[in-house]
Amino acid sequence: MYVADSRAGTPGAAHAPASAEGAARPGPGRRRAAVAPTVLALGTVSLITDVSSEMVTAVLPLYLVTGLGLSPLGFGLLDGVYNGFSALVRLAGGHLADRGRGGHKRVAGLGYGISALCKPLLLVVHSLTPIGLVLAADRTGKGLRTAPRDALISLSSTPGTRGRAFGVHRAMDTAGALLGPLAAFWILRATVDGYDAVFTVSFCVAAVGVVVLVLFVPSGQAGRPPAQPPREHPAPGEAPAPPTTPLTPPAPPTLRAALALLRHRDLRRITLCALLLGLATVSDSFVYLLLQRRLGVPDRWFALLPLGTAAAFLLLAVPLGRLADRVGRWTVFVAGHGALLLAYALLLTAWHGTALPYAVLLLHGTFYAATDGVLMAAASDGVPPELRSSGLALVQTGQATTRFVCSLVFGAAWTLWGDRTALTASTLTLAACAVLSCSLRPRPEGTAPA
């Protein structure tokens, strides 16, 4: 579906010129690949890694609140660490990845490796402080790998197909998010020490993801094709090439140059909107806990709730990515937050029908499909290739920081005033931030329809 007809024997196909973004233009008689092989390789890595991480994420809320007896405030603190600590290292990861050829793969591999090593540590920690440290280390790994991975996706795609490329990657990533809770559910039912078994299997799966990254993701940085030196000895009848100045490698990007990207109007506005909307984005774990309490879902079925979000995300990521390439990424991004607003509103109603969880989880998955990859595609348009990882890290840092704050505030509000009051405040804040974000819309993208 995503790999074009090769037609290896077509003349000129082997020498297709590289575009500005490093994606090959098709030669005569050859169709352009809908998605670059690098995107598919990274999607496979993310699929495997998400099976591992979502196995833990699916059981972590129940393990902490029911098994260890943490209060909603304590869980909000840990959940904020789990989802927001990566903000502290995303800029560093993006900056390191932009320095030197092949840096994107090296930094991403380091991040995947750190997260994998954290999984078995959950077997030996049983109190708030050490669990928080392990989760912080795991999120450090995620923070290091996210911007370099997204930069590789962006640089291996053309501007007019970035929405689709990110959609394909996020769909493959979400397939892992769909399989992870299923694996956790099966392990919990089939073993005596269910949580320990989940953490052990999660580590083994994460190690496989690191191996796939090392073996199948190209090490060269997309978008920086090597220069071709002139011939030293011209062919018979060919005029000698004029003398040229020896090529020197470009200077490594500086941190100051990366921060200076915020001077660009569009990237600054995208970053500000990601920051504002993150202030009212309640974490997934809280959404599932709210659903469990509203519907009285038994503990043994709790791990299946993320499947609804993952299924909707999987089905809609590619269509909404293609739609973003056609009608505008900003339009789809803001509409995705409208879907999240409807999900919160449904949780606040008195409706207790059997369709409630399906509707909430469908809207929750639609929110992710319309925002996660689409935001990175929109931000890529205003960032030069040599600073692509750093620029995307700026946007991700603002979003992750405010989501960390939201987890802390929501957990405290739930503890002090109850879950309904906390969700009402988040709903009103999200509505206000969405209206403000509409007024900060960047210039329309100059992308071609997919």
Would you say 407 and 281 are in contact if contact means Cβ atoms under 8 Å apart?
no
CB 172 within 8 A of CB 47: yes
What does the pLDDT read at residue 222?
43
Q: How many CB atoms lie within 10 A of CB 111?
A: 28
Cα separation, 394 vs 92, whole angstroms = 10
List Cβ neighbours of 443 (8 Å cut-off, separation of 6 or more): 265, 266
CA distance 206 to 113: 8
pLDDT of residue 261: 79
Give the model's pLDDT for residue 42: 93
Nearest alpha carbon to residue 151 among 208, 111, 123? 111
Mean pLDDT, consecutive 10-residue segments, the chain of 450 residues? 38 40 45 74 93 85 74 72 68 79 83 90 80 83 88 86 90 88 85 80 93 83 42 48 45 68 83 88 87 77 81 91 89 92 89 82 94 89 82 84 84 88 93 87 50
d(CA 340, CA 434): 11
Task: Tell me the C-alpha distance between 39 and 85, whole Å.
Answer: 26
What does the pLDDT read at residue 193?
Answer: 67
Integer Cα distance of 202 and 209 in angstroms: 11
- What pLDDT shows up at residue 2? 37
pLDDT confidence of residue 232: 45
Reported for 408-414, long-range contacts at CB under 8 A and 24+ positions apart, including other chains, are: 408/76, 408/77, 408/80, 409/76, 410/76, 410/282, 410/283, 410/286, 411/72, 411/73, 411/74, 411/75, 411/76, 411/77, 411/79, 411/80, 411/286, 412/73, 412/76, 414/72, 414/73, 414/76, 414/286
> Residue 82 has what pLDDT?
63
Q: What is the pLDDT of residue 362?
A: 94
